[in-house]
Amino acid sequence: MAIRRGRGVAAINYPTGMNLGGDPTQALVHSTPTGNFMVTLSSVDLGQGMKQIMAQICAETIGVPTDRVVIDTADTDTGPHCMGTFASRGTHRAGNAVIQAAKEARQVMLEVAAEELEVNASDLETDGQGNIQVKGAPQKSISIFDVALSAHFKRGRSISGRGMFLIPRSYPEKETGAMKPSTCYAHACTVAEVEVDDETGEVTVLAVKNVFEIGRALNPKMVEQQLVGGSWMGISHALYETTEPYYPNRDHGGTDFNQYLMPGPGDLAKTEIIVLERPSADGPFGAKGPGEMCANPQIPAVANAVFDAVGVRVDTLPITPERILRALKAQAAG
Amino acid sequence: MAKVPVQFMLNGSEKAEFVESGTTLLNALRDKIGDTSPKGGCHQGTCGACSVIIDGELRLSCLTLAETCIGADIKTTAGLAEGGVLHPLQRAFLDAFATQCGFCTPGMIMAAKVLLDRTPNPSREDVVEALSGNICRCTGYEPIIQAVLLAARANSQNAA
Ligand code: FES
Ligand code: FES
């Protein structure tokens, strides 16, 4: 009986969004009288950072500082339609919709500025600080604050835009059955190092090294935050979490946090995160969806590491001490 | 059911309420007094989201009856910021990206505050121990551990 070490590797592709009859998200953008920009969405921020990312995307497109953008996700009944924040689709689908809405709003903003400055709208640019200026003659400029005031009180214009992003429904080809259920794949690879006690069946994950290819990281610190938390969650799925430990028999499921286990702050594996940025062709500023895929590669990597350590294939999750001991017993029985 | 009067200090100001006998402090704070910073994650003492500080001790408000708190000095995360300036722990949680959905955050901050009040320069092991009664779904804990260590460093720099 001994503590045995093992190392496992696994790589995954992970889609952005899904396609159960078309995958749409819509967005509306409008300016306040003082030149702040409201983005109205039904895509909800539940901690993944949706509001921050949409503010960055809108600000970048219109050409204003991020703190000039307010995100309103207050009401999914009355807001523009969104399929929802699931399937890692939020940044990609809502981001593309926000870009389209913000472009239209920017165009109206430039038209109003052009009237104020008595130039052509196509000769104008934003300075990113809240002003609009003539290309090549930045001394001729007007603040976006004044442009918004003019639009509201003088010119009767609405500086606003409509955004719509739709991945149309994909039907299977008759001959081959091939279809496109999702788009914009992200990729990841994990190397896991474990120790397995072949007497108790207990697994300790010593370290995980993760590489994630996620398009472009629109907010690198928030991406890192997702990936670190996701890596932990992947280990948790591999070794601990289940509501149905004897599935399909539904007995003995955990009913509270004493029984539904997860690794705590004392059980953390040494975690390394490497981000590869390969901007996607159809993503907002090249982004893909890193949300869910970051919790996936750890699971097969840990399973492979357990196999490397003690020579048994546990193909049911989570890989509990009981399952390992049963597999070892079966192996010994030949 | 019979109502009982309770009176205690909450974040430095006096609160008095009538609650049904058997009401937890968590429910009294959230539903009667309107301090929603303690969260009800499990209502059975296993997640730490409802943690508050009672007379200097870390307590689970879901397992504490409001009527046992008469005359007590209660502190919650909602009372930490002073005059719009965030408490060093709150600042550190932001700077270390230690919060995502935020549901665990007030409980984590309470646990960390009791630790730092007693052990201003904690080791990593001290921090892990102090947070071990609190569950987080989102962060993987490491950013939270780093935030507490960051707040401790910021405190000792300010004291120096
Ligand atoms: S709500 Fe009190 S410990 Fe979970
Ligand atoms: S930040 Fe979501 S539970 Fe901790």
* Contacts A224 to B, Cβ<8 Å: 97
**Quick check: B155 and B147 in contact, CB under 8 A?**
no
- Domain ranges in chain B are 3-79, 88-159
CATH, domain range B88-159: 1.10.150.120
Q: How far apart are CA A100 and CA A26, in angstroms?
A: 9
Tell me, yes or no, whether A135 and A208 share the same domain: no
**What is the bridge-based pairing of β-strands A203-213 and A270-276?**
parallel
Residue B160 has pLDDT above 70, yes or no: no
User: Right CATH number for B3-79 from 3.40.1550.10, 3.10.20.30, 3.40.50.150, 3.40.190.10?
Assistant: 3.10.20.30
- Domain end marker among A141, A167, A193: A167
- Interface pTM (ipTM) of the complex? 0.93
Tell me, yes or no, whether A133 and A193 share the same domain: no
Percent of chain B past pLDDT 90, that is, above it, reads: 94
| Residue A265 belongs to a domain | yes
B102–A265 C-beta distance less than 8 A: no
| Residue A179 belongs to a domain | no
- Domain end marker among A139, A167, A195: A167
Q: What is the distance in A from the centroid of ligand 2 to the CA of B106?
A: 10
Range of weakest confidence among A10-14, A22-26, B83-87, B156-160: B156-160
What is the 3-state secondary structure of chain A?
A: CCEEEEEEEEEEEEEECCCCCCEEEEEEEEECCCCCEEEECCCCCCCCCHHHHHHHHHHHHHCCCHHHEEEECCCCCCCCCECCCCCCCHHHHHHHHHHHHHHHHHHHHHHHHHHHHCCCHHHEEECCCCEEEECCEEEEEEEHHHHHHHHHHHHCCCCEEEEEEEECCCCCCCCCCCCCCCEEEEEEEEEEEEEEECCCCCEEEEEEEEEEECECCCCHHHHHHHHHHHHHHHHHHHHCCCCCCCCCCCCCCCCCCCCCCCCCHHHCCEEEEEEECCCCCCCHHHECCCCCHHHCCHHHHHHHHHHHHHCCCCCCCCCCHHHHHHHHHHHHCC
Q: What is the distance in A from the centroid of ligand 2 to the CA of B99?
A: 6
A256–B44 C-beta distance less than 8 A: yes
Query: What pLDDT tens digit does each residue of chain A (334 aa) get?
Result: 899 999 999 999 999 888 778 899 999 999 999 999 999 999 999 999 999 999 999 999 999 999 999 999 978 899 999 999 998 999 999 999 999 999 999 999 999 999 999 999 999 999 999 999 999 999 999 999 999 999 999 999 999 999 999 999 988 899 999 988 788 899 999 999 999 999 999 999 999 999 999 999 999 999 999 999 999 999 999 999 999 888 889 899 989 999 999 999 999 999 999 999 999 999 999 999 988 999 999 999 999 999 999 999 999 999 999 999 999 999 999 8
Tell me, yes or no, whether A28 and A104 share the same domain: yes
Q: How far apart are CA A302 and CA A279, in angstroms?
A: 29
Of A49, A226, A257, Cβ closest to residue B42: A257
Tell me, yes or no, whether A7 and A26 share the same domain: no
* Contacts B144 to A, Cβ<8 Å: 265
Backbone φ, ψ for residue B147 (5° rounding)? -65, -40
Of B101, B140, B145, Cβ closest to residue A46: B101
Tell me, yes or no, whether A30 and A10 share the same domain: no
Which among A257, A258, A262, A292 is the top mutation candidate for probing chain B, defined by the most B β-carbons within 10 Å of its own β-carbon? A257
Cα B147 to its chain centre, rounded Å, is 15
| Residue A54 belongs to a domain | yes
Tell me, yes or no, whether A253 and A236 share the same domain: yes
Tell me, yes or no, whether A258 and A287 share the same domain: yes
pTM for the full model?
0.94
Q: For B132-149, what is the mean pLDDT?
A: 97
- Domain end marker among A167, A197, A216: A167
Tell me, yes or no, whether A109 and A28 share the same domain: yes
B102–A228 C-beta distance less than 8 A: no
The pLDDT score that the predictor gives to residue B157 is: 84
Tell me, yes or no, whether A39 and A129 share the same domain: yes
Tell me, yes or no, whether A34 and A69 share the same domain: yes
* Contacts A47 to B, Cβ<8 Å: 99-103, 138
CATH label of the domain that carries residue A130:
3.30.365.10
The three-point CA angle A159-A160-A165 to 5° equals 155
Domain span including residue A33: 19-167
Tell me, yes or no, whether A225 and A158 share the same domain: no
B138–A222 C-beta distance less than 8 A: no
The three-point CA angle B64-B68-B72 to 5° equals 100
| Least Cα separation, residue B15 to chain A (angstroms) | 32
The pLDDT score that the predictor gives to residue A105 is: 98
